[in-house]
Structure 1
Amino acid sequence: MEAELTALAASGATAFVGLMVTEAWTQARGRMARFLARGEDVDVVDAELEESREELLAARRNGDEDGAADVTAEWRVRLRRALRDNPGAAEELRGLLDELAPAHSAGTTVSVNHNTIHDGTYNGPVIMAHSIHDGVHTPPEQGPGTR
């Protein structure tokens, strides 16, 4: 059971810290603060969350991956303690995660980048991509005079 709560705390911290840099943060922050307060002053926890958000934003601006990871680690420890002190909170945390950070569908995701190719001769489509899954098919080879 301890391993399950540790995994839940880790996924919760990752989701919450991920939300810190989204438009959903305002809604998520209040819900998180109420969940984490549990006998503490909600405003104090809310201020701690906002301070963590500022640290995270500064770390990302400065390319400080360790600083960003520290924010996640801090909230992972806090969540693990909250779950250890109140194992019944696990269901509440799962519900909160489902509401605030729903699983993304496995559907197609599209990102648009604008790339430029200079020089050279290209006799067909040029595709620049990180990963391509399904839906991209290349035409049969066409040699000179086959058109």
Structure 2
Amino acid sequence: MEPIAVAAGTTLVGALAGDGWPAVRAEVVAFWRRVRAGEADAVADDLAELRAEVLAARRAGDPELERALAEIWQRRFQELLRPDPGLAGELRSILEQHLTPALAPDEWADQDERPDRGR
């Protein structure tokens, strides 16, 4: 799997749990709209559901569920990149400019443990 897909899926889950989730959602949906316009509305709905699931997992203290959700989105990003690997640069930009900055401060430390963020 592309490292950028892994990093984006993992970071997305954390970013949606924070206060900046509307902007994160908007950026991911805009990316999807540029790549697969017909799927963008469904992705918007899926991201709202993902946020609810992540928040529930955190309330329940269930890191396994969070990891499972991250794996789902890692695969989704991978599938999006598969036909056009050149999109990895755009996804990297979204990761660096929108997803990572939306993480809660206590999650920034986890960035050191994540894959090389697609570099």
- The answer to whether TM tops 0.5 is yes
Percent identity reads 33
The one-letter amino acid of 1:18's match is G
Pairing 1:18–2:18 present:
no
TM alignment of 1:23-62, pairs within 5 A: 23-37=19-33, 38-62=36-60
Residues 36 and 79 in structure 1, CA contact (< 8 A), matched pair in contact too: no
For residues 41 and 76 of structure 1, the distance between their equivalents in structure 2, rounded to whole angstroms, comes to: 17
Residues 20 and 53 in structure 1, CA contact (< 8 A), matched pair in contact too: yes
TM (normalized to structure 2)? 0.75
Residues 34 and 42 in structure 1, CA contact (< 8 A), matched pair in contact too: yes
2:92 to 94, 108, 133: 94
For residues 70 and 3 of structure 2, the distance between their equivalents in structure 1, rounded to whole angstroms, comes to: 13
RMSD (Å), alpha carbons = 1.7
Q: Which runs of 5+ in 1 are unaligned?
A: 103-108, 110-147
Using the TM superposition, give the Cα deviation of residue 94 of structure 1 relative to its aligned residue in structure 2, in angstroms: 1.1
The one-letter amino acid of 2:11's match is A
- Structure number with the bigger relative contact order (C-alpha 8 A, sep ≥ 6) is 2
For residues 91 and 8 of structure 1, the distance between their equivalents in structure 2, rounded to whole angstroms, comes to: 9
Using the TM superposition, give the Cα deviation of residue 36 of structure 1 relative to its aligned residue in structure 2, in angstroms: 2.7
